[in-house]
Structure formats: C-alpha cells, structure tokens
Amino acid sequence: MPKIKIAPSILSADISRINREIKEVEKYADLIHIDIMDGIFVSPTTVDADFVKAIKTHVPLDVHLMVHEPSEAYLKGFFDAGAHSITIHEEACRDPLRQIDLIKKSNVKACISIKPKTPLGRIKKYLDLVDMVLIMTVEPGYAGQKFIASAMPKIEELRKLKPKLDIEVDGGINPYTAPLAYAAGANVFVAGTSIFGKKDRTAAIQEMLQSLK
C-alpha cells in the first residue's frame, strides 16, 4: 500500500486569507486540495487558475477540476499556476485521454475521478496512464456532505488491480469515515470540513492520522 497522504481541501477555508489558512496546515499536509467548479459540470463556481497562482506554499497543489471538457488553454492556466497534480472527471470529458495526455506532457501528475455512481469499469482503460485515481465519496459540488459508503467496493476492486497506485478519496472524510476508506484501499485523504472547518487544524490532521493507525 502506498504512503498515507492528507490533503486538506480549501473549499472549507477562508479564501480571503488563503495564504494564512494554508500556513496553518503546511506542516502536516501532504497536498493542498483545490476544488475548481465551473457552474456546468457542477452547479457552483469556485476559484480559478489566477487564484491558484497566488497561493504561496511549498506543499504540492492538488487541483480537482469539476469542469466540463477542460480545453488545452484552460489546462495550461493551471500548469502555469504551478499545479502538482490535476484531476479531471471521466463524466465531464468526451475523451479523457486527450486531457490526460496534455497534463502528462506538461510534467504535471494526471489523475482521473469518478462520481459515486459511476462504475470503475469506465476508467479501467486509463489506469496504466494516470498517477492517481480519485474515487468520490460524495456527489461533487459541495463541502459538508455525508460520506457515501457504497463507493468502498470500487476502491477494493481498484486496490486489487493496482497495488501501488495512489487512490484518493474526497467527500465526507473525517476520523470516522477515513478508516473505512483506508480499509478498502485508499491512501490519499481529502478533507474540507473535518480540517478547515475546525479551529485547531493541526489537531484535526493529527486526529485523522491517528484514526488510520
């Protein structure tokens, strides 16, 4: 099983003081998870590439694009903004291979995601090409939703197929649900509400790590 990584999601942070918010998690975060929503693939809209560019941290930026058909120029904005990894949604792209190729060509880590009801079979053909798979544990769009445990069998199946792959989970992850996803085979844990929603972010991350022991 690959190394456990914690990825606080800034969707639950105060973005008017984002660099100070990130400072509070920098010491224990392995990735900073940034949710980009376009108002099309999901109803809300969030921040853009310029916002990402203004983030100052040594922690790798994990950009989650909940975006319909991201174009080459659109992706380039995130390459230039310093993204470490970019996740696209299988459901949002006509031919995800196109985006995966563009991302990899720019030396950014490519990741593909599926929503809770999308079967694993839809992404099997990309598994040898991507650096990480994100299995959503809520319907994308909002922080603070309830963890969908019915996504666990997909993680189990994926872990059997890919013992060394980074498998990320996102949505409703907290010290009670993270161990369920970990037992299924996930190793990268995105958390908004249960980290940035708490006053003491360091304690929140420690509690999450403790739950995985």
Catalytically active residues, by annotation:
35, 170
Binding partner of residue 24 among ligand DX5, Zn ion, none, CB under 5 to 8 Å per kind?
Answer: none
Exposure b/e, 19-36, CB count within 10 A at least 16 = b? eebbebbeebbbbbbbbb
- Determine which residue in the list 64, 154, 159, 201 makes contact with Zn ion, applying CB under 5 A: 64
C-alpha 79/C-alpha 96 separation (Å) is: 17
Q: How many CA atoms lie within 13 A of 39 on its CB side?
A: 4
Shortest Å distance, C-beta 209 to ligand DX5: 16
- Determine which residue in the list 64, 154, 159, 201 makes contact with ligand DX5, applying CB under 6 A: 64
- Determine which residue in the list 170, 178, 180, 194 makes contact with Zn ion, applying CB under 5 A: 170
Nearest C-alpha neighbor of 132 from the set 141, 122, 143, 123: 123
- Closer of 37 and 128 to ligand DX5 (Cβ): 37
**Span 152-191, contacts to ligand DX5 by CB under 6 A:** 170-173, 190-191
Residues found near Zn ion in the complex (CB under 5 A): 35, 64, 170
